[in-house]
Structure 1
Amino acid sequence: MNLWHFLVGFLAQVSQSQFTSKVSQAIPGAIISYKETIACSSTSTVVSYSGYVRWNSIVVPGAAYNTSTFFWFFPARNPAGANLALYLAGGPGEASSFAALTENGPCVAQKDGNTAIPNPFSFNQNAHVLYVDQPNQVGFSYDEIVDGVFNVFGGQAGSGAIEVGATRSNMTNIKGKFPSQNPDTTARTSTMAAKSMCFGYGGMYVATLATYILRTNLKLPVKAGATFKDIFIPSVGITNGCIDIEAQGSAYASLPYNNTYNNANGTPFRLYSKAQYDAIVRTSKGPGGCFDQVQECRKLRAANDPRDEGKDEATNTACVTAAGICNKSLLGPFFSTAVARSQFDIGLNPANPNPPTYAASFLNKPSTRDSLGVPAGLNYTLYSSTVFNNFYGGTGDPMRKGSDDLMYLLNQDTRVAMIYGDRDWRCNWLGAENLTLSLPWSPYPSSTGRFTSSGYVPFQLPSSTRPTAVTRQHTLLSFTRVFDAGHAVSWYQPATVQAIFNRVIRDLDVATGIDPGSRTITKGKPDSWSWRSVLPAPPSTVECSLWNVASSCTQAQVGALEAGTAKVDGGWRVVWPVK
């Protein structure tokens, strides 16, 4: 909490100097260093500020390591009345700075990996936006910098010397300087991450961070003076986030069997047969299945680890076991279907090029790193397997908590906007819709009914002649299903998501942007199944990227990389085999 105030207070009065360091007067051991930088290119007028918040172990209770957390701050294009918006990427383990140059920042990196152009759909149109690479060891954030190697197959950066012969000309292992990748020097649970201003699930558990801040506000001294101040959180947005496995888990079976897309001949698009769907539901809901294991995990957590410190081994074991069983029963069947599709976009083949990884190449350029104030030689970590494994394999964090934090935010009058691309399977809209409909939240006044009393209406975007989404809203809570969009919804439909963002932060209704949002109750259809689309055939082109081999490359390309016969262009793009 103290560190949050330290950072936010600084950003409200950032100077124009070339490079500045400030020592916190309130938090011993905390230092912020920053510089002004040009976000897009040398000819751009987009000004931003980047740098590090550095603190030693005494700042974060229970931490035995020092941390340097990278941030990138973009002032609002229209600064009058603009508030601060914090963007946190998900994963856990994905860098927020990647989204700044791919989805919703003021610039978009181009295919050459060397240039970036202005983005008309940036979130900083009417808000100051802060991107934080979190938790530690993600993006440009680090504990200590070591010599190591990045393995493109596992997306893993390892420290220390590499074995003779491990690095081939095909660049499957890339030497360089990386964060230590020590699992003991990064977060293991979402609550631990929130306490250290490092948050690993941008979409998945943003509610945990917001709840932590609001609850910490209550603990501040009544006469705190200028040292500590409350941080007001009027709104929270979640894009294609997995929040509660109990409420959302069944949709892993539902969406492949019954979704809102048709084939070109008009028949429903399906990845599962009725028999496959029934088998998955039966296995996951049966005795000892996924949902039984989740209940056991949460029972032990409540009794032995309610603060989510990740130190109780019985709880960790139960929750890791639940994660494994749920992954096997709910997620496993998707990867063995007769018609293979991407888990992040059912309209694409498993080798999914979207969103492209151009930003990672742009950020890893020495000139970019120097401009941002990154330590010499430190390579960019787009995605950290160490962080992911800590959360899933260390504590089973995704199984531990339900929707309590979301409920807390709504009860504290925080607006919650849930925005989901309807072609994503990994954190799909059916599961999120079920979560919103099952929330035991009672809006005020109670006479207005619950969220289920609202209905779906078309989302109105002035620049579009047809609806790009449908929305249901009941005062503080809104749910929007965005058409023809995968997991990275703001990359697929940037104008729609930007409009939702602008409306929510101004407390306007999501569907039209005209009426007061906190008093809006949409009157429309009870479900959105009547809005259907034809699913286009997957593109035949493939863009295999060394930054994201697991999701962007075909089996033939992976095999060629393993055999050392692949041809790589520009240091990241596999140009042979073509697919």
Structure 2
Amino acid sequence: MRVLYNIVAGLRAVSALRQFEQEPLHQVYDGIKDVARQQVSDGTFRVTDPAELGVDSVKQHSGYFDFEQNNKHLFFWFFESRNDPKTDPVVLWINGGPGCSSIKGMFFEMGSAKVEPELKLVDNPYAWNSNASVIYLDQPVNTGYSYSSDEHRVNSTRQAAKDVHRFLNKFFEVYPEYAELDFHVAGESYAGHYIPAIATEIQSHKEKNYELASVLIGNGVTDTKTQVPYFQAMACGEGGYPSVLSEDTCQQMKDAVGDCQKLIEHCWENPKNKLQCYATMNYCLSVSVEPYMREGGRNAYDIRDVCSKTGCYEDENIAIESYLNDEHVQTVLGVKDIEHVGCRGSVGNEFGLNGDYELPFQYDVADLLDSGLPVLLYSGDKDFRCNWLGNKAWSDKLEWKGAKEYSEAPIKRWHANVDGKDIAAGEVKQSGELTFLRVFDAGHMVPHDQPETSLDMLNRWISGGSFE
């Protein structure tokens, strides 16, 4: 009866079905100067050279892949490696949300430059294209600069994964000089859904013009049933940071875990019941995340911080959005008449209403590991929202062919090489194809909080994967 009551409680949020309105889509016009068009088998690339913006001195491409058979347009910005682009790997970076822009993530986290409050660009010496060429992709459509017609909006991870593979296949068709290089997919947060699905989609195509070398998932949401108890654990002092909630609130959160997990199980058993999965998401968030937000006003992405009344990371967010909405910047990038929003709420709402949030993607990870694909799970240990405790828990219990050996693997200290010095950067558990990395003193956005050690992490991984 209690579970039934909680389903009913969650269904109260279904009023959003009546209130929900899609954000208007922006019409994009031709006529931007210096746009090169290249027709591919089932679409078109519209590309410009954005070097004049001064984000980096390396070779760059930005623009759109236009899907021919449906009105979808994915925006990307590509930077060659600062080292040796002829031999260095290629990395695809995607932010989470759903609906959060990878272009904003680029400037906020690991991109070639940061945006100062006066919109001045400052070089980032720890950019991820130091030893790899990087593609930043705004996906799914209607995220960031990407857009579509109403009838071709995307509201599921599986659907988004198909679009990403299609984009990649055409990207390497247009730029074959990168197709033979090692290729990795990296991302964070809801990329704990995206990346397992994208990798599964890629591996399902035997005939393609590129090969996937590995995946990297940072502070991801992947196995919600296993991860949900660790909201309480992280907020209440079990994650290496003192409790930030009262004893009563901690107990209430703990008491609600069982019901939430039962609801998630029902969703997994009946994934086509989207309304039930949506109600489950609302109920579980209300008992696991909202108490943390309500009681302390703390940053969900960094337990150490208390946010201002206007939000977290306010100065950085304003600067980046102002830059990305500058008319000259958009013209140079090949964009016209699109309001860039860092995280577009309508995209997240559509995924939620479609029941996508609670769906399990750990089984994809297990299949990928069984196929021999290396997987790196890295977690900043001061994040609350997708915390390291939950990510360690689901990876520890994951059933795959190397599970026994992984369970017996020791946890070792990871020392990063930063400016020629070895520093204690985290802890690592590694066996076979699976690596779990705890990153000390980083929140949800690891490259933002620990730029030096995150670059060391990436360089180690793409050069062989050893953290010894």
Q: TM-score, normalised by structure 1?
A: 0.67
1:450 match: 406
User: 8 Å contact 1:137–1:381 — kept in the other structure?
Assistant: no
Q: Which residue of 1 aligns with 2:62?
A: 50
Query: What is the Cα deviation at residue 212 of structure 1?
Result: 1.1
The alignment status of 1:368 with 2:329, answered yes or no, reads yes
Deviations 1:44-82 (A, max 9, x none): 6243110100014x3xxxxxx501111101011122422
The match for 1:99 among 94, 100, 105 is 105
Q: Indicate yes or no: 2:37 matched with 1:37.
A: no
Deviation at 1:120, TM superposition (A): 1.0
Query: Given the alignment of the two structures, is residue 195 of structure 1 paired with residue 201 of structure 2, yes or no?
Result: no
1:72-151 to structure 2, matched below 5 A, reads 72-78=77-83, 79-113=85-119, 115-143=120-148
Please list the CA deviations of residues 489-531 of structure 1 after superposition, one character each: whole Å capped at 9, or x if unmatched. 110001111111111111130x24xxxxxxxxxxxxxxxxxxx
Query: Which string of whole-angstrom CA distances, capped at 9 and with x for unpartnered residues, describes residues 215-256 of structure 1?
Result: 122xx4xxxxxxxx2532111111111111011111011001
Counterpart of 1:4? none
**Does the 8 Å contact 1:37/1:371 carry over to 2?**
yes
Displacement of 1:452 in angstroms is 4.2
Cα drift, residue 279 of structure 1:
2.6
Write the distance in 1 (CA, Å) between the matches of 2:50 and 2:448. 24
What is the CA–CA distance in structure 2 between the aligned matches of 1:355 and 1:294, rounded to whole Å?
Answer: 37
SS of aligned partner of 1:325? helix
Q: 1:261 to 1:411 in 2, by over 3 A?
A: closer
The structure 1 residue matched to 2:72, chosen from 63, 67, 73, is 67
Gaps of 5+ in 2: 1-32, 168-186
- C-alpha offsets along residues 512-564 of structure 1, whole Å, 9 cap, x if unaligned? 4xxxxxxxxxxxxxxxxxxxxxxxxxxxxxxxxxxxxxxxxxxxxxxxxxxxx
1:179-199 per-position Cα deviation (integer Å, ceiling 9, x unaligned):
xxx4x5321110011112289
Q: Deviations over 1:250-287 (max 9, x none)?
A: 1011001124556xxxxxx21234443333222220xx
Q: How many Å apart are 1:340 and its aligned residue? A: 3.2
Q: Is the 8 A contact 1:39 1:48 kept in 2?
A: no
Conserved 8 A contact 1:247-1:438? no
Number of the residue aligned with 1:475: 432
Aligned partners of 1:40 and 1:46 also within 8 Å: no
Higher Rg of the two aligned structures: 1
Structure 1 CA distance for aligned equivalents of residues 39 and 399 of structure 2: 45
Query: Is the contact made by 1:88 and 1:132 (CA closer than 8 Å) also made in structure 2?
Result: yes
After superposition, the Cα gap between the structure-2 partners of 1:475 and 1:407, relative to the gap in structure 1 and judged at 3 Å, is: same
1:209 aligns with 2:173: no
Q: Deviations over 1:154-180 (max 9, x none)?
A: xxxxxxxxxxxxxxxxxxxxxxxxxxx
Q: Distance in 2 between matches of 1:355 and 1:485?
A: 19
- Structure 1 Cα separation of the partners of residues 215 and 459 of structure 2: 12
Identify the structure with the greater helix proportion.
2
Over 3 Å counting, the alpha-carbon distance change for 1:39 and 1:430 in structure 2 is farther
Q: How does 1:99-498 map to 2 (within 5 A)?
A: 99-113=105-119, 115-143=120-148, 182=150, 184-197=151-164, 201-217=190-206, 220=207, 229-261=208-240, 269-285=242-258, 289-301=259-271, 312=272, 315-337=273-295, 339-351=296-308, 352-353=312-313, 356-357=316-317, 358-375=319-336, 377-392=337-352, 394-443=353-402, 449-463=405-419, 464=421, 466-498=423-455
Whichever residue aligns with residue 372 of structure 2, its letter is D
Q: Distance in 2 between matches of 1:465 and 1:191?
A: 41
Give the direction of change, closer, same or farther, for the CA distance of 1:41–1:230 in structure 2 (3 Å limit). closer
Deviation of 1:89 (Å): 0.7
Q: Measured at CA, do residues 466 and 499 of structure 1 come closer, stay the same or move farther in structure 2, by a change above 3 Å?
A: closer
SS, match of residue 194 in structure 1: helix
- Whether the aligned pair in 1 keeps the contact of 2:409 and 2:429 (CA below 8 Å) is no
Comparing 186-195 and 274-283, the one that deviates more: 274-283
Distance in 2 (CA, whole Å) between partners of 1:502 and 1:419 is: 14
Q: Secondary structure at the match of 2:256?
A: helix
Change (3 A) 1:299 1:355: farther
Tell me: CA distance 1:452–1:190, structure 2 relative to 1, closer, same or farther (3 Å). farther
Contact 1:456 1:472 in 2 (8 A): yes
Higher relative contact order (CA 8 A, sep 6+): 2
Mean alpha-carbon deviation: is it higher for 197-206 or for 366-375?
197-206
Instruction: List per-residue Cα deviations over 1:79-99 (Å, max 9, x = no partner).
Output: 242222111110111000112
Query: Which structure 1 residue ranges, 5 or more long, are not aligned?
Result: 1-16, 59-64, 145-181, 221-228, 263-268, 302-311, 513-579
CA distance in 1, matches of 2:315, 2:280: 31
| Cα distance change of structure 1 residues 373 and 402 upon mapping to structure 2, 3 Å threshold | closer
Equivalenced residue count is 408
- Aligned-pair identity in percent equals 25
Q: Secondary structure at the match of 1:326?
A: helix
Counterparts of 2:94 and 2:274 in 1: how far apart (Å)? 25
Give the superposed CA RMSD: 2.3
